[in-house]
Structure 1
Amino acid sequence: MFIFLNKELSLGKTIYPKKNDIFNAFKFTPFEKIKVVIIGQDPYYHYNQAHGLAFSVLPTYKPIPASLKNIYKEIKNNFNYVNVPNNGYLKKWADQGILLLNSVLTVESGKPNSHKNIGWEIFTNTIIKIINHYKKKVIFVLWGNYAKRKEKIIDNTQHFLLKSSHPSPFSANHGFFGCEHFIKINTLLKKLGKKPIQWF
């Protein structure tokens, strides 16, 4: 992976996120703090978006990406919130124990899925397997068919699985809206004696 990335950079290609941000999901949510894992696919591919957390964008980026807007809409409906955040920065979630894990951790500028099959999937699947094996009662959130394929490496007798369609505008109306995953996460955390997530 890193040989590939260094070669791409040497050719003058722009890679997102920045090198120092690639592993932010693990920096912000260390292993011992993981309560929830939300699995994404690959990073946003435009300037000033990706910073190492699935679904999250840097606070200065506008507008909020469409999938994240739909996530906010579902949270708002789950809890009857009046307002939603004015940015898409989800570090607050990561700080509370949500591992926001993309399957692929880098992307070439302007080219979605450009770093598929360079080795990231093996790395992130190994992370999921480690969490599955060494932790108990983690809530895994699988949105869309890509994320649902990770179900085969998660033991649903030891962990919780929440599944729905992807929050993308193309699929949110096919099961994401109304899934109530955010209130379900907090209900499960309370039953486990853990602090619920403050979403907004």
Structure 2
Amino acid sequence: MTFEDALFELEPDAPADQGFDNLPGTPLEELVAPDWAEALRPVEPQLRDALAYVATQARNGIQVLPAAGNLLRAFRQPLADVKVLILGQDPYPTPGHAIGLAFSVSRETRPIPRSLANIYRELHDDLGLPPRVHGDLGAWSEQGVLLLNRVLSVAAGRAGSHRGKGWEAITTAAITAVVNRTDSAGKPKPLVAILWGKDAESVEPLLNGAPSIVSVHPSPLSASRGFFGSKPFSRTNELLVAQGAAPVDWELPVL
């Protein structure tokens, strides 16, 4: 078994210090998909610093979420396959919830977070798709939906605790890499950005004119002020088809 195999077999609720010490020195190609490794090379020093910060936190007894094996999970699917960007803030701070994909939680999580429940409600209202009892959005990721948090780690129980620790430079580079991809003719590759909330909306200047769907965050505090009824899923598919790309099948598998 390679180190990469061992790393990605860690459970979502692994002990806080399990695997984090290895991350800062692991080759980039073992942490993310090959084309993501190439895209993130210019910010590798900042990525190493962020990983070292997380490792130090874990070594000091602070539980860091998600588990080490899921910290960079958003970059496991090839960069070349991305056609939709959904941007979140930072991981859920409840142990066992965060799995490295924005808004997504482990299949065992009950009840699912309220923001995700609101996403499911809008998915049903928009496309008639049934809500699932689980909150694993991995099937979207496999279709080229990049579920990217602006900040990739958090201390358990302390939402926003790892903001300003270096992750923003990495995710800015990631968004820029997605936007700047071109096909063999030099044309921008199909892309739609779904920006929920002020944090997500702040990256709109990075999109370089790529179509975006902007609304308030699906949080219970704001969903009724413009998230419900915004039809992000059907609108995204319409924009993808207009760019010559296949639509996303937004229906999630049952358990």
In the alignment, structure 1 segments of 5+ residues that lack a partner are none
The alpha-carbon deviation at position 11 of structure 1 amounts to 0.8
Write the mapping of 1:107-126 to structure 2, written as runs, cut at 5 A.
107-126=154-173
Report matched runs for 1:137-176 at 5 Å: 137-156=190-209, 159-176=210-227
Partner of 1:134, secondary structure, is: coil
1:51-130 map, 5 Å: 51-81=99-129, 83-130=130-177
Determine if contact 2:191/2:240 at 8 Å carries over to the other structure: no
Gaps of 5+ in 2: 1-49, 183-187
- Partner amino acid, structure 1, of 2:136: Y
Aligned with 1:92: secondary structure? helix
2: CA distance between counterparts of 1:4 and 1:22?
13
**Residue matched to 1:48:** 96
Query: Mean Cα displacement is larger for which, 35-44 or 2-11?
Result: 2-11
Rounded to whole Å, the distance in 2 between the matches of 1:151 and 1:95 is 24
- Alpha-carbon distance in 1 for matches of 2:196, 2:87: 7
CA distance in 2, matches of 1:174, 1:58: 28
- Which residue in the other structure is 1:20 paired with? 69
User: In the alignment, which residue of structure 2 is the partner of 1:180?
Assistant: 231
The answer to whether the aligner puts 1:197 opposite 2:248 as a matched pair is yes
CA-CA distance at 1:132 after TM superposition: 1.6
Partner residue of 1:9? 58
State whether residues 70 and 99 of structure 2, in contact with CA within 8 Å, keep that contact through their aligned partners in structure 1: yes
Instruction: Classify the secondary structure of the residue corresponding to 2:246.
Output: coil
Relative to structure 2, which stretch is displaced further, 123-132 or 52-61? 123-132
Matched to 2:107, the amino acid is: P
Residue 62 of structure 1, CA deviation: 0.7
Question: Residues of 1 paired with 2:149 and 2:249: CA distance?
Answer: 22
Kept in 1: contact 2:94–2:157 (CA 8 A) = yes
2:3 aligned partner: none
Cα deviation, residue 191, structure 1: 2.5
Q: 1:35 aligns with which of 71, 75, 83?
A: 83
Deviation at 1:193, TM superposition (A): 3.0
The CA distance in 2 between the partners of 1:114 and 1:160, in whole Å, is 31
Bigger-Rg structure (1/2): 2
Percent identical residues: 37
SS at match of 2:148: strand
How far did residue 4 of structure 1 move? 1.4
Cα separation, 2, equivalents of 1:183 and 1:22: 30
Take 2:73 and 2:144, find their aligned partners in 1: how far apart are those partners? 13
| Alpha-carbon distance in 2 for matches of 1:194, 1:11 | 47
Q: TM-score, normalised by structure 1?
A: 0.94
TM-score (norm 2): 0.75
Amino acid in the other structure paired with 1:141: I
Where 1:128 maps in the other structure, the secondary structure is helix
SS in 2 for 1:60: coil
Q: CA deviation at 1:5?
A: 1.3
Q: CA RMSD in A?
A: 1.1
Code of the residue aligned with 1:44 in structure 2: it is Y
